A and B are shown apart, each in its own frame.
Chain A
Amino acid sequence: MDLLALASTRLDLVRLGLLAAALPEQRLRLVAYLRAPHAFDRPDLERLALQELTSYLRPAKQTAPGRLAEAMAWADECLARPRPDLLLLGEATEASLPFAVTAQKLGIAVASLEAGLPAAPEREGERRITEQLATFRFAPTAQAVGWLQERGLACHYRGDLLAEAGRLLTEEDVTTALSSWGLSRRGYLVLALREEPSAVPQAGMPVVYLPDTQGQALPTAGAWATEARPVAAWLSLLLGCGCLVSDDLGLCRIAAAAGAAALLLDPTGEQHWCADIPNLAPIPDLAAASTCQPDPAPPPPPAPRCAPAIAHILTRGA
């Protein structure tokens, strides 16, 4: 079976790394839509047992419709020849919808690996349409299942791929990465926000600032900021932290599954979809993160059930 995966963020690499390990017999080609300055470096991909990128697009257009048109034409190039059996989509980005539309018109099945959970506000509309078009929908949480069902969309519920992110690294990998920064397990707070905050939470431990999921570092007063490259270092910071404060549900799910206290910044109070995720709670503002208390005895990583189950459905269904 020939699979083509669209990756746009490092969270996508995590998902695809886990799936690639569960699909050893299949050909998994990777294409990347890159809006951030960083690229998916070859060592990163090798570390996750992913093949080198077969194509990537750094959009040149400055406007949203311009980038959409660019992505649509690029999707045609990526999907038309050689034509894969299945397209894997992770996070909703500007390129997800053009890829889903083009794939469906070419008769290629589409799998949405993050179905039912909210995307960034500006991507919400596209996320919902992509789910509508998808052939396979994998809901990471029980709430996501219910939410899809409300829209009449059937889905598979086999667990959360991101919750298994810890399986991509060994304990030693994480410890080595943390010690290179002078950090100890559970002894620091990670702040990961789409926009730089005006202040950082005072939680009585060092604060590491990860500016956004794309990896561009920005200075922030009161916190030590890092671009956290390569991807293994970035993932180590998430897996080893005592507390994560973020507006990104995906990052929160990784940290929460690894035992950190994950606090989802939600000023609107609307993100009620994390209610069924252990160790994850919404907070209205950064001040609320000051009470964060890491669990001194975090649980072991979950058994690798989700990725093999998804891989089984994909290979059987496609």
Chain B
Amino acid sequence: MPITAACFVGARPNFMKIAPILRVLRQDRRFTTLFVHTGQHYDYAMSEVFLRDLGLPPPDALFEVGSGSHAAQTAKVITAAEAFFNRHHPQWAVVVGDVNSTLGVALAASKLGVRVAHVEAGLRSFDRRMPEEINRIVTDHLSQLLLASCPEAVENLEREGVDRSRVRLVGNVMIDSLVHLLPKARQAQPWRNYELEPKSFVIITAHRPENVDNRLQLRRLVEILEQVAARLPVLLPLHPRTRQRLQEAGALARLQSLPALHLTEPLGYLEFLGLLDACTAALTDSGGLQEETTYLGVPCLTMRENTERPITVEVGTNTLTGLDPGLVLSCLDQVLAGTYKQGVIPPLWDGKAASRIVTALARSR
């Protein structure tokens, strides 16, 4: 009797983590696999382009929970997940990352006795102001199988009293997607679309509420964008939230007028990966980008005060700069002078994490 594993995604950062797992699961006869999209991100550019790029199949179920407050969104996911579990009775609910869908599915599953496997377990920023940190903690403590991407994550779980027998160090599954698709992304040479040359431009992404919802922080972000664009061409794929905040603050038109600043809509996975691989440096406040740049050896300046991925700072190419224009520019100067730190790829970031995850699922029957 095959094991039924239901794999859930809700938002864009989930897709590149679930894609390799789904690929391995579907080749494994021990499993029957279901793919579920909660619809937390429902914008085409934010969601379906990613699904297509990553070769993900159409979802077996789509919850269409849409937007709302954190609690309202989580409640909708719980309700929809309950109906799904009652219909399909999977043995495993495989959840990834730290979005509200991750939490909602884990809560519904735990109430119904469906075992939860959490991919990317144990990451901690130790910053409770981040809603994702709350999602991480609760999901980890609800899970029967905690699949950690790095040794620090395992240590965090041990410190919180999680039973070590439930934890597996499997490596970074997002890197599986990167390894799988990097040749195709390089071949496309997406920088040509923006009349850019490899290793001659900077990519910037920013979307975190603490950076864009606060006017003072947003002003600092704009200052950074302007100053970086004065040194190098900048590619800025705009998250809908950021676009709206810039518009409200009257800064969007000013940025659009900068000749070295290329504003774009959110990009698909392949195009973005090709650009990331070719850029001089990345500035970001996202989580996954810190890991992707470490793997690619691209300098990454993270515009946050903390990170749940400290390994990218300790051994990788990442530096936490916050929204400090002076620090950002000083790091960028090091990059341009060739004196910025050279990172190494952490252990088990080898493109084989999904296989280890599926083995763990099969052995934890």
Task: Determine if A152 is an interface residue (Cβ-Cβ < 8 Å).
Answer: yes
Cβ–Cβ contact B134 & A72, under 8 A = no
Task: Determine if B333 is an interface residue (Cβ-Cβ < 8 Å).
Answer: no
Cβ–Cβ contact B134 & A65, under 8 A = no
State which residues 136-151 of A face B: CB under 8 Å.
150-151
Using Cβ atoms and an 8 Å threshold, which residues of chain B touch A125?
110, 141-142
Using Cβ atoms and an 8 Å threshold, which residues of chain A touch B112?
64-65
Cβ–Cβ contact B128 & A104, under 8 A = yes
Task: Determine if B354 is an interface residue (Cβ-Cβ < 8 Å).
Answer: no
How close is A99's CB to chain B, nearest CB, in angstroms?
10
Task: Determine if A68 is an interface residue (Cβ-Cβ < 8 Å).
Answer: yes
Using Cβ atoms and an 8 Å threshold, which residues of chain B touch A76?
69-72, 75
Task: Determine if A57 is an interface residue (Cβ-Cβ < 8 Å).
Answer: no
Using Cβ atoms and an 8 Å threshold, which residues of chain B touch A80?
69
One of B77-85, B171-179, B235-243, B290-298 at the interface: B77-85
Task: Determine if A69 is an interface residue (Cβ-Cβ < 8 Å).
Answer: yes
Cβ–Cβ contact B141 & A63, under 8 A = no
Using Cβ atoms and an 8 Å threshold, which residues of chain B touch A66?
79, 82
Interface string of B46-90 (1 = CB under 8 A from A): 000000000000000000000001111011101101100000000
State which residues 108-156 of B face A: CB under 8 Å.
108, 110-112, 128-129, 131, 134, 137-138, 141-142
Task: Determine if B29 is an interface residue (Cβ-Cβ < 8 Å).
Answer: no
A65-B111 contact given A104-B134, A125-B142, A132-B137, CB 8 Å threshold:
yes
A72-B74 contact given A129-B138, A132-B141, CB 8 Å threshold:
yes
- Cα A129 to Cα B162 in complex, Å, equals 11
Task: Determine if A105 is an interface residue (Cβ-Cβ < 8 Å).
Answer: yes
Cβ–Cβ contact B72 & A73, under 8 A = yes
- Cα A128 to Cα B142 in complex, Å, equals 10
Cβ–Cβ contact B103 & A101, under 8 A = yes
Query: Nearest CB to that of A130 among chain B residues?
Result: B138
- Cα A129 to Cα B116 in complex, Å, equals 15
Task: Determine if A301 is an interface residue (Cβ-Cβ < 8 Å).
Answer: no
Instruction: Report how many residues on chain B are interfacial, defined by Cβ distance under 8 Å.
Output: 28
How close is B114's CB to chain A, nearest CB, in angstroms?
10
How close is B261's CB to chain A, nearest CB, in angstroms?
33
A107-B110 contact given A101-B103, A102-B70, A125-B142, CB 8 Å threshold:
no
Cβ–Cβ contact B142 & A129, under 8 A = yes
Cβ–Cβ contact B161 & A133, under 8 A = no
- Cα A64 to Cα B81 in complex, Å, equals 12
Cβ–Cβ contact B82 & A63, under 8 A = yes
Task: Determine if A70 is an interface residue (Cβ-Cβ < 8 Å).
Answer: yes
Task: Determine if A98 is an interface residue (Cβ-Cβ < 8 Å).
Answer: yes
Interface string of A160-186 (1 = CB under 8 A from B): 000000000000000000000000000
Cβ–Cβ contact A65 & B82, under 8 A = yes
Cβ–Cβ contact B161 & A72, under 8 A = no
State which residues 232-272 of B face A: CB under 8 Å.
none
Task: Determine if B314 is an interface residue (Cβ-Cβ < 8 Å).
Answer: no
Interface string of A271-295 (1 = CB under 8 A from B): 0000000000000000000000000
A65-B160 contact given A73-B71, A132-B141, CB 8 Å threshold:
no
Interface string of A56-80 (1 = CB under 8 A from B): 0000000111101110110110001
Task: Determine if B363 is an interface residue (Cβ-Cβ < 8 Å).
Answer: no
Cβ–Cβ contact A72 & B138, under 8 A = no
Task: Determine if B159 is an interface residue (Cβ-Cβ < 8 Å).
Answer: yes
Using Cβ atoms and an 8 Å threshold, which residues of chain B touch A105?
70-71, 131, 134
Cβ–Cβ contact B71 & A98, under 8 A = yes
Interface string of A82-102 (1 = CB under 8 A from B): 000000000000000110011
Query: Nearest CB to that of B71 among chain A residues?
Result: A76
Query: Nearest CB to that of A128 among chain B residues?
Result: B141
Cβ–Cβ contact A64 & B111, under 8 A = yes
Cβ–Cβ contact B78 & A132, under 8 A = no
A151-B103 contact given A69-B75, A101-B138, A105-B70, CB 8 Å threshold:
no
How close is B103's CB to chain A, nearest CB, in angstroms?
7
Most chain B CB within 10 A, of A70, A102, A153, is at A102
- Cα A150 to Cα B138 in complex, Å, equals 18
- Cα A69 to Cα B78 in complex, Å, equals 6
Cβ–Cβ contact B75 & A70, under 8 A = yes
Cβ–Cβ contact A129 & B137, under 8 A = yes
Q: Which of A65, A70, A98, A129 lies in contact with B81, CB distance below 8 A?
A: A65
How close is A66's CB to chain B, nearest CB, in angstroms?
6
Cβ–Cβ contact A101 & B79, under 8 A = no
Q: Which of A68, A101, A152 lies in contact with B111, CB distance below 8 A?
A: A68
A68-B129 contact given A101-B134, A104-B134, A151-B161, CB 8 Å threshold:
no
For this complex, 15 residue pairs linking A to B, each with C-beta atoms less than 8 Å apart, are A63-B82, A65-B111, A66-B82, A69-B78, A72-B75, A76-B70, A76-B71, A97-B138, A101-B103, A101-B138, A104-B128, A107-B129, A125-B110, A151-B160, A152-B161
Residues of B whose CB lies within 8 Å of any CB of A are 69-72, 74-76, 78-79, 81-82, 103, 107-108, 110-112, 128-129, 131, 134, 137-138, 141-142, 159-161
Nearest first, the 7 A-B pairs at minimum CB distance are A151-B161, A76-B71, A65-B82, A69-B78, A69-B75, A64-B111, A72-B75
Taking A104-B134, A105-B71, A132-B141 as given, write out 12 further A-B residue pairs in contact, using a Cβ cutoff of 8 Å, ordered by the A residue number: A65-B111, A68-B107, A72-B71, A72-B75, A73-B75, A76-B71, A98-B71, A101-B138, A102-B70, A102-B71, A129-B142, A151-B161
